[in-house]
Amino acid sequence: MPKIYKYLLFCLIVSSIFGTTTYYFLSNRHKAIVKTHVYHTLGFIDNNWNITENNHQFKLVTPTLLIDGIYKSMEGPKVSRVIQLNNSDDVYVITGFKIEAVDATTLKSVSKEFICHMNIDLNDKSYYTAFNLHNRIGKQFPRLTSLSSGFEEFSFPKGYGFIIKGNEPLFVMSEALNQNISPITKKIKHCITIDYEKYNGLQKPLQNKITYIRLPFDKYDPYKSPTDVGNNQCVPVETKNHTETDNNGNMLSGHWVIPNGKKTYRSFINSQLQIKDSLCLHTAAIHVHPFATQISLYDKTENKTIFTSKIENYKDKIGLVKVAPFSSKEGVWLYVNHEYELILDVNNTSKIDQDMMGSMFLFFYDKELDEKLKQSNN
């Protein structure tokens, strides 16, 4: 055998050993990313997005997601892409969102247990520039909303919605989940629907504010359990993602571990709300993980609950049956001189530690944008 072929064979063997070894030590989440990319690239499973649209709905069906084992929250195979409602510069109003898990071949509905979460993100520079709202650029993470198992759809109150231009880019990511079934080899897709209508000058625009529970942890020994079980500290799931540092140098995590039993977590959210004046709340989209039992928006100043989302878990397996949204056409007022909290109650009925998140996508009447839209129509 010529030396060049021996050299190539040697390199191939070494690369295969290195790649196999590296893959073996990856986390379950990163293994899913690698497998999905390889399967789609080599054509082992369908890698096509199916997009349809009409005057009132934008629908997209994801490429195939192969579920071949247990995937806890934020570990499963996922896909993403950029979309636009259409190619026009016209102004539209998004009125609702929905996700459904379907069989990859028949496209018939399957269990919601195979939905981890579907996120829709804005390009905040492009979006706010289009409406001359430059002061909002970079002020918060530009996520429009998130849907998940137990909270697969919601709509805004009639006459309200999220304003967007038809050609505005939206980044969509959808991830699969499987908390209970093993062994398994199942091919699914996610069917995502965005309801919208043409803006006619009568609809009232909403702006979104992302709020989520952030808990302190020991930055020097992050995975050590707090010695005081009654405190509000946590053990983070990991220290690279969903972590941040507050103004006092404390490390905070938005994705943490819950032990067996009942516990309540609290987190101030004024820095996330960024209220400059009073705001009227009309809708809240909720994102939590299994074993959450309720999450509340709480006015600490007045010592009263603004609303509570009740959460129903399966009794015989891990997963969320129903997460109650908040929706009000009349609205509820939040004030600049009040302190607000998210309060999350959990009950880990399993025998092992579980992961948890608690967040609300709050939608307020957007007076500033409403005035700009009316001026542009005059």
- pLDDT for the residue numbered 79: 98
Dihedral sign of CA atoms 154, 158, 159, 165 in order:
positive
- CA-to-CA distance for 367 and 50, rounded, in angstroms? 37
Whether the pLDDT of residue 221 is over 60: the answer is yes
Whether the pLDDT of residue 10 is over 60: the answer is no
- pLDDT for the residue numbered 99: 98
| Per-chain mean pLDDT for the chain | 92
Q: Which of 151-155, 216-220, 368-372 has the lowest mean pLDDT?
A: 216-220
Mean pLDDT over residues 343-368, rounded? 96
Q: Which of 11-20, 342-351, 367-376 has the lowest mean pLDDT?
A: 11-20
Q: What is the dihedral of CA 189, 72, 121, 338, to 10 degrees?
A: 140
- CA-to-CA distance for 150 and 374, rounded, in angstroms? 38
Whether the pLDDT of residue 11 is over 70: the answer is no
In what side-by-side order are the strands of the sheet with 340-348?
A: 261-268, 340-348, 292-299, 304-313, 320-323
Token readout for 290 is 């299994």
Q: Tell me, rounded to whole angstroms, the distance of Cα 254 from its chain centroid.
A: 12
Q: How far is CA 181 from CA 184, 208, 267, 356, in A?
A: 6, 36, 34, 20
Q: Which of 60-74, 95-109, 226-240, 262-276 has the lowest mean pLDDT?
A: 226-240
- pLDDT for the residue numbered 38: 92
Mean pLDDT over residues 57-66, rounded? 97
- pLDDT for the residue numbered 31: 87
- CA-to-CA distance for 146 and 192, rounded, in angstroms? 12
Per the confidence metrics, is the pTM higher than 0.85?
A: yes
CA angle 15, 18, 23 (to 5 degrees): 120
- pLDDT for the residue numbered 57: 95
**Coil vs helix vs strand at 272:** helix
Whether the pLDDT of residue 26 is over 60: the answer is yes
Nearest to residue 121, comparing CAs of 81, 171, 168? Answer: 171
DSSP 71: B
- pLDDT for the residue numbered 239: 87
The counts of H helices and E strands in the chain are: 5, 26
**Coil vs helix vs strand at 103:** strand
- pLDDT for the residue numbered 22: 59
Whether the pLDDT of residue 356 is over 60: the answer is yes
